[in-house]
A and B are shown apart, each in its own frame.
Chain A
């Protein structure tokens, strides 16, 4: 039990939560932008895989982590464009396109690293230099969590949440995405092209997923390996569903899942903890499932309220 309290008193644990939440926040925002456009985009996972690999490849090729991140984002946007091409232009079922892009991404990833390195599982990358914010890093506790050895993409994730909120509140594109997502026919009747708007939304989503993927291979780790996205795209979709379309709520749920993930990793190091680590590793996925169930029960109750809950007479 003492280890528990110690864990929650260590700044390092909170820093780890931030690290593990960052890719989830990007994935959740990608899901949010797609969903607002009326597309259930399960291809986020695949977009993250391609982005993680492209980022690692470009970083070693050019020697620059920044160019690597850029490549990751571009790969994500291209995956979004591919999704839009299939789902919007060619009118294929969204779920099938999502499955296809996910399988395609992981298959192509294995092919590329085998072709380049001869092994089938990993590829090295040049990690981004973490930031140490002067003065602020001296703050007790908080400084250690937020401003020491922090990856720039962690800050960018926060900015992305604000940017997505801004997109839907203040820009013409945002209102058009909302309109297309809620009532495509109505949007088309005033001369908006739903196909175009959806394509743009899916590319934005792809770019966000791209940041998440690039962070995994150049921030969280330094290099790509085939299992590294590990369902984070799907956890992001779950966080978005529970966040009910609000960017801030969505990001907070992504952080919650990140916290569970951090806990499951930290708990493995407790000597007195008898739970096998395989079981602990399932914790993030288990919480996601439970979270989704609770969310959908609440939503059902809201949609089908019983008027007074009075007893049923015989």
Chain B
């Protein structure tokens, strides 16, 4: 809540004026009282993909307190005094409080990383009237990133109006103009987080390429593959350090997209090269399969338990204990793989291949065609295939056919993502929205099927004796199988409606307009 008395304006200093000169000037030209500058050390936190920043928030630790602050105006949204030195990594590591509730919807399953240590110095100047009443606050704030590349502090000047004393602020703004101060967009916090710290600040798992319709297919493909490779590399450290599950997830999505692009954007590379790298990326995918599967299971623990009556919930503990132990092995294997010569060599080869592909004398059939033409062709074909398969699915269709549709939808989704920059973004959003609903339906169906199968597999491994605790585990796991089966049937029932949303007149017309 912004108090009516808290209206602020922000300015940046001109290059000709440094902070000390500016402070001297203010105190000689005007009747200001300068309160001693206060220095604070602050540690900034956010998730790797900047989820707090995209919600205009930042988490700050100062001494033994945490503050969730608004990036644009620096206001404290929530605060927590950390009496027990909790050293939190995820939102659930905080005790139940408003700060935790404020972080939870944004950070989700991602870890909060320490982005930078910052020294903030604030000098407060108060303009007094004849009653010695403050009529205007001027804050001169400086932020310096400790151990960063840039040692120059960022400086922002804030004028805080006091309600009922606006004329003083107006007069003062004129004075600022004569000094050459430029109005700035907001509080220093946003400036501070734009400092390059330990991690990149614009990370996104989304494909970020800008293709032009007339671009040669080979050039466009190179841009897409390079972007995907970049994403893989950025996530490696988080997997190795086991920071949270999403590093591996984003890494694998980039691997899958690479494989999908290799198969789907046909004949831009020679068949020999295409097959070679498809095999390389298939190996990388396989080496990380087990860890991802275990991550997914372990993430379901809470929701699984909630499906069961309270008294048998702990019956699932042996299952999750077993998965947890397996994960210890899997993370070790995965780490070893990422550090292995095999992996490093694959990446190096791929990188060199992409660097030199345009000068390769052996050129494939489609490499000189305009990318727009290829994009339309591929998307349209894949779309027709999805519609054809989807129409065949009824309540009794065997699971493998549903699975095949899921794969085709995924391929279509990837194509739409690769080529998104070629088409109007508003219309692409509508198409992706409908496709996503359909994909979620098919994904849920598949997940529920796989989960039932692995629970049954687990049950087969339980040594049936007369042990009470084993009885409980059997009951819980068995109960869960039936709940999951019920849910799976529900998902199948909703398929028709979800498919209609994708194949309706509006979406069909959009597809025709953009890609036919």
A and B pair up: no
